Each structure stands twice: as C-alpha cells, then as structure tokens.
Amino acid sequence: MEQRNIPAHVAIIMDGNGRWAKKRGLPRIFGHRAGVQAVEKIVSHASNLGVKYLSLFAFSTENWLRPEDEVSGLMTLLSEFVDKKFSDIIEKNIKFIVSGRLMELPDEPRSKVLKLIETSKNNTGMVLNLALNYGGRKEIVDAINKILDSGIKEIDEKIFSDFLYSPEVPDIDLLIRTSGEMRISNFMLWRLAYAELYFTKTLWPDFDEKEFDKAILDYQKRDRRFGMTDEQIKRGKI
C-alpha cells in the first residue's frame, strides 16, 4: 500500500448486519452488536493509516421504520459505543462529529454523543463523522432552508457546501459498501460527486483491517480524472 496515496476521506455504508445474524440463527441485534466491534477495529485502523476523515453510516432517517426493538437496540448500542470508546477516542486524538438530525435522537444517546463531540472538539487527528439520523436528500433540503433563512440571494458550489451538515468535512474520496448491495442509499449525495466506489460481498461484521486494506489498494489503482483529460491531470490542473 502506498502511504502517500491514502484517501483523505473514506465513507462506509456498513451493510449486512441482519444477514450476518440470520446466517447464525440469531436475532438481528446480534448482527448490529458484531457490527459495532467491526466499527471499533476500522476506526482504529483508519486512524493509524492516516485517513483524515472517516464517515460511517450508522442510522438513516428511514431506519426509524424498523421494528421498535431493533431501533431501541441500535440506540442502546450507540450509548454503549460512546461509553466504551470515549477515552480511547480522546487518547487517539480523534475528533468525533455527527452528521444528521441529532436533536431527534432519544435523550440518553443524544447527551452522550454531545458530550463526546464537545470533549473531542479540539483534537487534531482523524475526524470520525458518524452519520446518525442521516438522509442525503434531507441534508440538501436542510441546507437550502438554512440558505433561505440567511437571506443569501445567490450561491455557488462553495457557498452551498458551507450549509451542509458538518461543513468542515470535504468531498469523499472512497466510498465502501459491504454486503454486495450496489446502491448509494441516500448517503452523502453532494460529497459523493467524484468518489471512487468500492463494493464488497463481505458482510459488515466480517469486515476487518485486511478488508479495509484491500479497498485502499483498489482505490490506489484507480485513475481519478475529475472530468479532465489525462494530459490536464499531468500538467497539474488539480
């Protein structure tokens, strides 16, 4: 793996927890629990590799439609994740942020998450961006409403992106989706514009450091042109 060509922003759609549990004859929540362990491994590994931003799709605005016990189970896992990883995140100099409508989350996970955001806000290492109660179209509509409220009459791409959730988060370089589905599923639509897409059949709970390295190696073989010609890229247009 080339150390100098590590994607700055890696985003992951962590899919397949339910199928992982089903294969073992277990309730779905066991798959999510195993999924959290994969999250822990990948956060630490990405930070060690020098990834600058890691965005993880943990809960979509549509996930509220899942059975009540699954939703409450996911919220409990979120609270436990924050409790368990709090000091580790601070120690690793990771800045923890959330993209999504955090105010609609239940009190307990919301207050734990807010405390970690506040405590880690001056950290200068990797930014861990957890997409919680996140929808890509909602993010765009929320941005437009904020722009209308601000009284700004004319925008360009730069101004628009300043109104997205967590505006410090740049465009995505590499999107990984596990479990064999080949969809974007309303994830970070604006920032995916020029992302390289990587799909693997591996279910999220089985996704580990080796699988992550495979995705990075694949990315490093890609030829990114951002709509330009090879010649322009060589002349250093970007």
- Residue positions forming the annotated binding site for Mg(2+): 15, 196
DSSP 3-state percent helix, strand, coil across the chain (nearest 5): 50, 15, 35
139 binds ligand FPP (CB under 6 A): no
- Candidates 98, 86, 161; CA nearest to 129 is 98
Strands 9-13 and 127-134: unpaired
What is the sign, positive or negative, of the torsion defined by CA atoms of 161, 166, 168, 171?
A: negative
Site for ligand FPP in 185-224 (CB under 6 A): 204
73 binds ligand FPP (CB under 6 A): no
136 binds ligand FPP (CB under 6 A): no
- The span of 2-10, 11-19, 46-54, 219-227 binding ligand FPP (CB under 6 A) equals 11-19
Strands 95-99 and 127-134: parallel
Among 19, 52, 101, 222, binds ligand FPP (CB under 6 A): 19
Binding residue numbers for substrate: 16-20, 28, 32, 60-62, 64, 66, 177, 183-185
Question: Catalytic residue positions?
Answer: 15, 63
Among 81, 134, 165, 198, binds ligand FPP (CB under 6 A): 81
174 binds ligand FPP (CB under 6 A): no
- The span of 17-25, 100-108, 152-160, 169-177 binding ligand FPP (CB under 6 A) equals 17-25
Is 10 within 8 Å of 207 (Cβ atoms)?
no
Query: Tokens representing 141?
Result: 């509509």
Task: Mention every residue, 6+ apart, whose C-beta is less than 8 A from residue 84.
Answer: none
17 binds ligand FPP (CB under 6 A): yes
Between CA 72 and CA 111, with CA 57 as vertex, the angle to 5 degrees is: 50
Of the pair 207, 219, the CB lying nearest ligand FPP is at: 207
Residues within the interface to ligand FPP (CB under 6 A): 14-19, 32, 35-36, 39, 58, 63, 74, 77-78, 81, 179, 204
